[in-house]
Amino acid sequence: MGRKTEAKLTSRERLNRGLHYTAVGPVDITRGVVGVSAHGVESAASAIKRRAREARAVRDEVAGEAEAVKQVVAELPHLLQEARKSQHRRRRRLFLFGFLGLAVAGGGVAFAIARRSATPEPSPLPPSVDVAPKI
């Protein structure tokens, strides 16, 4: 049961070990900063893509509503002419303008709902950050 003796380091080995550990610290810090930055950029890009997709959906919905309104407006002169010819001019005119008012109001309500649903409500929870490093 002899004593274990450790081989003493030479000056060159000691210098190499010191330089290695001196260089490893800043490299680890730099790798960590780059990793966190890359994660932030990826998160921002996915949020921008999601917002663009939602904006496209809202734009398409509004375009559909605009087409419906254009159709109603295009048919308006014909409907007005028919309403003038009829005996019950007053009732039909009231019905026509009531229908147009409902169509415009419905379009406005649909636009307001789509617009409101496009803006996300802020979360009541604090933002979370992934602390564990990804290896």
Which residue type does 121 have? E
Position 82 scores a pLDDT of 78
Per-residue pLDDT of the chain (135 residues; tens, 9 = 90+): 556 667 787 788 887 877 787 777 777 777 878 888 888 889 999 999 999 999 999 899 888 888 888 888 888 888 777 767 765 556 667 788 888 888 888 888 888 777 766 656 666 776 666 656 666
Closest CA to 132 of 43, 26, 39, 46: 39
Sequential DSSP letters for 39-87? HHHHHHHHHHHHHHHHHHHHHHHHHHHHHHHHHHHHHHHHHHHHHHHSS
Q: Where are the domains of the chain?
A: 11-118
User: What is the CB-side half-sphere exposure of residue 44 using CA atoms within 13 A?
Assistant: 6
- Give this prediction's pTM: 0.39
